[in-house]
Structure 1
Amino acid sequence: MTALLSPARPLIRAAAVLLSCAATVPAGLAAAPAAAAPTGPAVYRVAPGASVQAALDAAAPGDVVELAAGRYPGSVTLSTDRVTLRGQGVATVLVPDPADRSACARAGDGVCVTGSSDPQGAPVHTVSGVVVEALAVAGFPRNGVGAAVTDRLTVRGVAAHDNGLQGISVEMSTRTALTDNEARDNGQAGIFVANWYDRKGGALETLGTEVSENRLTGNRIGLQLRRVRGLTVAANLASGNCGGVFVVGDDGVPRAGALTVRDNVVRANNRYCPPNPRLDFVQGTGILLTGTEDVTVAGNQVSDHTGASPMSGGIVLYPSVVGVPNARATVTGNALRDNRPADLADRDPRGTGNTFTGNVCGASEPAGHC
C-alpha cells in the first residue's frame, strides 16, 4: 500500500520518536508525533496515492509537507500559518480530480491559500507565512494557485500551466513574494495580483510585494497588476503572450500605482486575444499603464511587438476603461526596439505629470519621447 510517512523530526529527538518517523501509516493518514516528544517543526512526506490534504491538516506552524515526484489528483488547501508545501520540481504535479468536492476544487483552483473576509471584502482572518514551492499545478478550471487574504506568502519554483483563469492569483494580500515561477498557457494572466478579482474599490497597499524572476509565456496577459500599490516587479521575462505587463487602475481611491516595474525583458507579446466586456482586443502590447499614478517604468528591455489594438506598442500609457488618466508616470532608461506602431506611446491625452527621459528607442507617439 502506498503510504504517507510520519513526520521526520530533528535528530536530537528521543529514540522512540525517531522510530516513529521511520514507520508508515495507511494512505491518507498523517502520523501524530509521540505524546512525549518535544514540540517543533516536522516534515510530513507524502507519496502518490496518499492524501496531501491529510498531511496539511496535520501540519502545525513551521512544519513542511513534502511531496515525492508523481501525480496528485485533487485540490489542496493551506489554512495554517507558516506551513510549507514543497514538491520535487516539475516532477511533482497537482491535477484536477473530478470526484473532489472540497471547497478549493469547487472554486476551480489547484492550491488554495485562503484567509477570510467579510461580505464587503475586508479581511477578517489572514493566513501568514505560507510557502508553496517546487511543484506544478496544471489543468484546473480557474487558478493553478489561488491565494486570498494572506500575509508574507511565498510562491517560488512553481510551474502553473494550462489553467482556465490565472496561473498564480494573489488577491487582498500583503508582503507577497512571487519568484522564479513559470506561468504558461493560462486563460487569463500568468501571474495576477489584485485587491479582488471580481470587485471594484480602492487599490490595496501591498506593503512591499515582490514579483521577480518569473517566466510568463502563452497567457492572455503575462503579468497583471490590478488595483494595487506599493510593490516591485523586477527581472521577469514576459514573451509570447497577447500582452506583457499590465498595470491597471480605475476611479477607486486610493489609486492604483506607487509601484516600480524595472529590469524586465518584455518581448514579442503578439498573440491575438479577443475583446471582453471591459477591454478591447489585446495584441502586441509590451508594458501598459492605464488609470495609474506614480508608477516608475525603468531599465526594461521591450522589443518586437506588433499589433493594431489601441493598446499596441512597446510601453503604452492609455486611459482606463472608465476614463481615468495616468498621473505622474516616470518612464526612464528603457531600451526599446522594433515595436509597432511605436516604441513609446502616450495615448492618454488627459494624463498629467507623465515624463519620458533617457529611453533608447526609434519612434514615439507623440514624437520627441525617444
Structure 2
Amino acid sequence: MLRMTTILLLLATAHPAVAATLRVPEDHKTIQAAIDAAQPGDTVQVAAGRYSERISVRAGIIVRSAGDDSKGKAGLKRAEATIIDGGGKIGDKPGVVMAEGSTLDGFTITNVGAYDDALWKKHFDSHGEELADDEGSVQAEGTIPAISIKGVIASVTNNIVHHNGDVGIAVVGSREHKVTPLVTSNISYRNLGGGIGVADLAEPVVRENTCHENLRAGIGCRNSSPIILDNVCFQNIRAGIGCREGARPIMRGNKCYQNRRAGIGIRMDGTAPVVEDNDCYENDMAGIGCRDGAEPIIRNNRCSKNKMAGIGCDGASPLIVGNECRENEMAGIGMRGEGIATIQGNKCHENKLVAIGVTDGSTATISGNQLSRTGGVPPLIAVKGSTALIQENQIEGGGVAAVLVQGTATISNNKFLGHGEKQGNAVWVWEGSTATIDANSFNGYRTAVNSTKATVIVTSNTVQGFTGPAIIIKDSSKPAHVFGNTAITKDEKAKVVEIQGPAGVVANNLVKAE
C-alpha cells in the first residue's frame, strides 16, 4: 500500500519536459552555440541577419528562422533575410550537416565552397559536354554540399540554396537502414553541382522544390529510389531531372523546361524510373531522354517544343504509354541505337520531323497511337534499318509517305487519313525492305502502297480517295502476294493493283462503286 501511494504521489507531482526555444542572437550569439545548448525537441530560432558559420545540427533539434511564412521575392521573406554564409573556400565541411530527426526551416545557405561564374558560363555554353562525369556530384570525393543529409531521416524545408561550390542539397543513403528524409519547398540555384542530389540507396521525398541554373541537373539521382513530386526545374546546364546508375525513382507532376539538355534524362543499365504526368517543354535536347540500357516506364507525360525529340530513346528499353508529344523540332518519339520499345496510346501531333522514328537497329511495337502533321516532307512513321509492328493506329497526313519502311515492318489494322492528291503514298516500302500490310483503311492518299525492289504481302486493305493505282509494286525481290483488297471509287477505270515484276498470289482485289 505504501509503495502504491508513493507511485501516485510521484505521478501527481511529475512535470513533463517542455521543449525550449533558444534564440539567436538574443540567447546565443551563434547558431552553432544554440544548437550545442539545445536538447532533443528544442527549437533554435534565428533572427534575420547574416551568420558567417557552418553548422552541424544535433539529433531532434529544429533550426528555424524567425518570422511567419510571408512570401518574398523568391522564397519566404524570413528565408531571404536569414543567411548562413559558408565563407567561400574556407573549411572542408558542408554548410549545414543534418542529424537524425532534425529540421532546417527557412534559411539562405550560400558561399559554401568557391562559386566561379566564368566556369558556370563555360559549361553553359557547351551544354555541359565538357563537364567531368563526377564534377560536383553528390558522392564524388571532395564534394562539399551546401546542405548534407547523410544516412539520416531529417526535414529540409523552405530554404534558398545558391551560389555554392558544389551540390546544393545532398541526400546520401545507408546500407544499414532506410533513409527517407523530406526535402520540400526549397529553392536551389546557381550551384556548381546539382540543385538537389540523391545517391547511394537514399529514398527521400523531394517535393515542390524549384531548381534552376545549376551546373548539373536540377534534381539528380544515382543508385537511389527517391519520390520526386511537383518540382519545377528549369535552365539547368544538364537535365532538369537526371536519373542514372541503377536509380529507380518515381517522378510525377514535375515541370522541366528550358534546360540545356533533356527535361528528364535517364541512362545506364538497371536504371528503371517511373516517369509519369510531367510537363517537359522547350528543352535544348529531348523532353524526356533515355539511353544506355535504361528501362523506364514513361507514361502520361506532355512533351512539347523541345529542340530534339519529345521522347528520345538511344539504346534503351522503355515502355512509352499515353504521352502527348507536340511541336517538337525533331521526332515526337524517336528511337535509335538498337533500342527496344513498346509505344502505345500516345498522341504525336505537328512534330517537325517524324511522329515516331525507329532507326539504327531498333525494335518497336507501335500500337493505338494518334499521329498527325499538317504539311512537311518527312513521313509520320519512319522505320529505317529496324523492325516495327505497327497496328491499330490513327495516322493522319504525312509527307513523302505516312509510313516509310526501310527495314522490316508489319502494318495492320491502322486507319490512314490523307489530304488528297498532294499527300503522296500512305505506305512507301524501299528497296531491300520487307513489309506485311494487312487490314488497313486508307483514305485520301494518291497511292495506298508503293513498293520498289522489296518483299511485300498486301492483304485485306480498303482504299478510298486515291488517284492512281491503289497499290503499286515494282520489281519485287520475291513474288509479291496481293489479295483481298478493296478499292472504293467513282472511277470505273480505276485499278486496285499494278505489279511490275514477280507476282505470287494476286487475287480477289475488287473495285467497288462509291
TM-score (norm 2): 0.50
> What SS does the corresponding residue of 2:375 show, helix, strand or coil?
coil
Whichever of the two has the greater Rg, that structure is 2
Which residue in 1 is equivalent to 2:259? 163
Cα deviation, residue 361, structure 1: 0.4
Tell me the alpha carbon deviations over residues 46-82 of structure 1, each in whole angstroms, 9 at most, x when there is no partner.
2233589676347663313322265644323211313
Which residue in 1 is equivalent to 2:383? 317
Which residue in 2 is equivalent to 1:10? none
- 1:140-179 paired onto structure 2 within 5 Å: 140-172=236-268, 173-179=270-276
CA gap 1:256/1:71 in 2 versus in 1, 3 angstroms: closer
1:193 aligns with 2:290: yes
> Which residue identity lines up with residue 314 of structure 1 in the other structure?
L
> What SS does the corresponding residue of 1:355 show, helix, strand or coil?
strand
* Cα distance in 2 for residues equivalent to 1:364 and 1:165: 35
Native 8 Å contact 1:46 1:55 kept in 2 = no
* Long gaps (5+) in structure 1: 5-14, 98-104, 115-126, 196-203, 250-254, 271-283, 319-324
CA gap 1:268/1:34 in 2 versus in 1, 3 angstroms: closer
Native 8 Å contact 1:247 1:292 kept in 2 = no
* Long gaps (5+) in structure 2: 1-23, 25-30, 32-38, 44-59, 66-82, 85-94, 103-150, 418-424, 429-447, 450-457, 462-514
1:244 aligns with 2:244: no
Residue from 298, 307, 312 that aligns with 1:224: 312
> What SS does the corresponding residue of 1:62 show, helix, strand or coil?
coil
> What SS does the corresponding residue of 2:170 show, helix, strand or coil?
helix
* Cα distance in 1 for residues equivalent to 2:372 and 2:247: 35
> Which residue identity lines up with residue 349 of structure 2 in the other structure?
R
Which residue in 2 is equivalent to 1:297? 366
Tell me the alpha carbon deviations over residues 184-235 of structure 1, each in whole angstroms, 9 at most, x when there is no partner.
111111111000xxxxxxxx273xx211111101112111011123x31000
> What SS does the corresponding residue of 2:310 show, helix, strand or coil?
strand
Query: Bigger relative contact order, structure 1 or 2, given CA contacts below 8 A and separation 6+?
Result: 1
* Cα distance in 1 for residues equivalent to 2:246 and 2:169: 21
Q: Comparing 360-369 with 25-34, which one deviates more in the overlay?
A: 25-34
1:42 aligns with 2:149: no
Which residue in 1 is equivalent to 2:298? 211
Native 8 Å contact 2:265 2:289 kept in 1 = yes
Q: Comparing 284-293 with 240-249, which one deviates more in the overlay?
A: 284-293
Native 8 Å contact 2:379 2:402 kept in 1 = yes
> What SS does the corresponding residue of 1:63 show, helix, strand or coil?
coil
- 1:267-286 paired onto structure 2 within 5 Å: 267-270=349-352, 284-286=353-355
Tell me the alpha carbon deviations over residues 66-103 of structure 1, each in whole angstroms, 9 at most, x when there is no partner.
22265644323211313224232xxx321125xxxxxx
Which residue in 1 is equivalent to 2:427? 365
* Cα distance in 2 for residues equivalent to 1:237 and 1:291: 24
> Which residue identity lines up with residue 147 of structure 1 in the other structure?
C
1:84 aligns with 2:198: no
* Cα distance in 1 for residues equivalent to 2:251 and 2:224: 13
Residue from 378, 390, 398 that aligns with 1:331: 390
1:128 aligns with 2:188: no
CA gap 1:70/1:146 in 2 versus in 1, 3 angstroms: closer
> Which residue identity lines up with residue 265 of structure 1 in the other structure?
K
> Which residue identity lines up with residue 367 of structure 2 in the other structure?
A
Percent of pairs with identical residues: 18
* Cα distance in 1 for residues equivalent to 2:228 and 2:200: 13
TM-score (norm 1): 0.68
* Cα distance in 1 for residues equivalent to 2:360 and 2:239: 26
* Cα distance in 1 for residues equivalent to 2:389 and 2:212: 42
CA gap 1:57/1:149 in 2 versus in 1, 3 angstroms: closer
Native 8 Å contact 1:191 1:224 kept in 2 = yes
Which residue in 2 is equivalent to 1:93? 210
